[in-house]
A = this chain, B = another copy of it.
Amino acid sequence: MSTVTILGAGAMGSALATPLVARGHAVRLWGTWLDDHLLDAVEAGHPHPRTGVRVPAGVEPVRSGDLDRALDGADLVVLATSSEGVEAVITRAAPAIARIGVLAVTSKGLLPDASGDVQILPTFIRGLFEAAGLEAPAIVAVGGPCKANEVAAGRPTATVYGSTDLEVARRVGRLAQTDAYRIEPTADVVGLEVSAPLKNVYAIALGYADGLAERTGEPWHDLKAAVFAQAVREMAAIAEALGGSSATVFGLAGTGDLEVTGLSGRNRIYGARIGAGETPADALTAMRAAEQTVEGAAAIVGARSLAGRLFDDAATRLPLLHAIDAVLDGHADPLRALTEAALPEAIRP
């Protein structure tokens, strides 16, 4: 059995303790400087505030000041901070991680490099190691339709582990898998990494359709289905333009994750508020007041930048992304924008 150090004691970090402890690993849960209240709850034996599930017995909570101790002798490190926290945490942990040589990453996002170009998170992380003059570890991206509270509760979950070296993804996957937490390995890191933030963006559009239903008292299921299919199509186009595979998008990582994000989650709720008639600004204020982070509202900035770099005619190639953006900017009506973007073009003579 191994020693696994999870960096970040939020929802997904704490949730992964469930399968890892079930497999008999020694698990250390290190909290960032923002996670003290979360570790307080863990130490008191209370349910984790973000998942509602008690962290399994045997997990060792480690406070932010004790990062070196958390990493000392670890066989595997799992990075599970928010995307905003990645740079600060990796910068501090890089020497130890470089020695260990492998890093699993549940954090997700499209982050700008020094030149402002948007990149997927593994590329960004490798850049941090290189900037520090260290050899980057093998990175295993963790994605797919995976709600932290369900992983924490041990409910059945299919997740995807991706590494450019498939054998590394398989090796780390074997270490973490249980009967309930099953892992599909892939070498298509690009398809996996673009799906994760993009599905948060496209879930906003699924929310617009739900909001129309709330506002009118009638279902708009045909429109929602068209939006779903168009979202998958656009995610596949982006993955392929970046050198990834559309097959990844058509599987668990894209279609599967969009399905669960469209069922529940804050991005969909944010979109539904707007579809029901709130202004985007009012909807975001209300979500923030309820301490509901809308990841898609942040991710669309990176998605827009990425789309513009990949396609000269991004608005034509990715009409749904453009429509989501136009609605959020207050320039378009959700119903009209979705109808234009998600329905097939008229058949011309």
Contact = CB atoms under 8 A, between A and B. Distances in A.
Contact of A222 (B146, B170, B251): B146
A217 interface: no
A97 interface: no
Interface string A319-349: 0000000000000000100110011111111
Given A226-B158, A229-B158, A263 B343 contact: no
Interface string A152-189: 01011110000000000010011001011011110000
Interface string A217-234: 011111111101100110
Given A158-B344, A339-B156, A344-B158, A222 B151 contact: yes
A229 B199 CA distance: 14
A222 B153 CA distance: 11
A211 interface: no
A349 B222 contact: no
Interface in A256-275: 256-257, 259-260, 262-264
B219 A147 contact: yes
Given A255-B229, A347-B177, A219 B264 contact: yes
A19 interface: no
A342 B263 contact: no
A145 interface: yes
A252 interface: yes
A221 B177 contact: no
Contacts of A233: 251
A126 B147 CA distance: 48
Contacts of A228: 255-256, 259
Contacts of A250: 232, 236, 246, 250, 255
A321 B187 CA distance: 28
A199 to B, nearest CB: 11
A222 B343 contact: no
Nearest to A256: B229
A186 to B, nearest CB: 10
Contacts of A259: 224-225, 228-229, 259, 262
Contacts of A347: 170, 173-174, 177, 183, 185
A150 interface: yes
* 7 A-B pairs with least C-beta separation: A145-B225, A229-B256, A158-B226, A225-B260, A182-B343, A157-B222, A184-B344
Given A145-B226, A157-B223, A182-B344, 10 more contacts: A145-B229, A147-B221, A150-B221, A155-B222, A157-B226, A158-B222, A228-B255, A229-B255, A229-B256, A232-B250
